[in-house]
Amino acid sequence: MKTLFAAITILSAAASTALAGPAGDMAKAHIEAIAKGDSAAVTAAYAPSATLHWVGGPLDGTYTGPEIVATWAKFAKAQTGLKATIVEMRESVNSKGATVVADVVFANDNKIPVRYVMMFRDGTLTDEIWQIDPALEK
């Protein structure tokens, strides 16, 4: 009986680490919307005061408010037919919010390797770092 209980405990712990929490689920939905080119769904996730830091590539810069909408519209127009592969995702949560760090490769004819950091508060995306990370291609 002790062996069975130990096995169930170990399996339960392994299963819970594999499942994303609410912020991880929001991050995955955000990533999928980006890959689909669904700018409306992408931008609906943001808090009104959100900031997007885009590090590297042709859209390099810091964006807020309507600039975020315009940036994702440009990206969606330039990069069609993307598939997103989440290489790794980590979620940290406390009573004030959640942070998700994801290594993602967006691919069509090109590969766009991204280290993606998303901070969520009250169920909305408040701060975001999209950093082109060539090391992910290796």
Residue 11 has pLDDT above 50, yes or no: no
pLDDT single digits (tens) 63-99:
999 999 999 999 999 999 999 999 999 999 999 999 9
> Where do the domains of the chain lie, and which CATH numbers do they carry?
21-137 (3.10.450.50)
| Residue 21: predicted pLDDT | 86
Q: Assess whether pLDDT exceeds 60 at residue 9.
A: no
pTM: 0.84
Confidence of residue 20 (pLDDT cuts 50, 70, 90): low
**How many residues are recorded in the chain?**
138
Those residues whose C-beta lies under 8 Å from the C-beta of residue 18, and which sit 6 or more positions away, are none
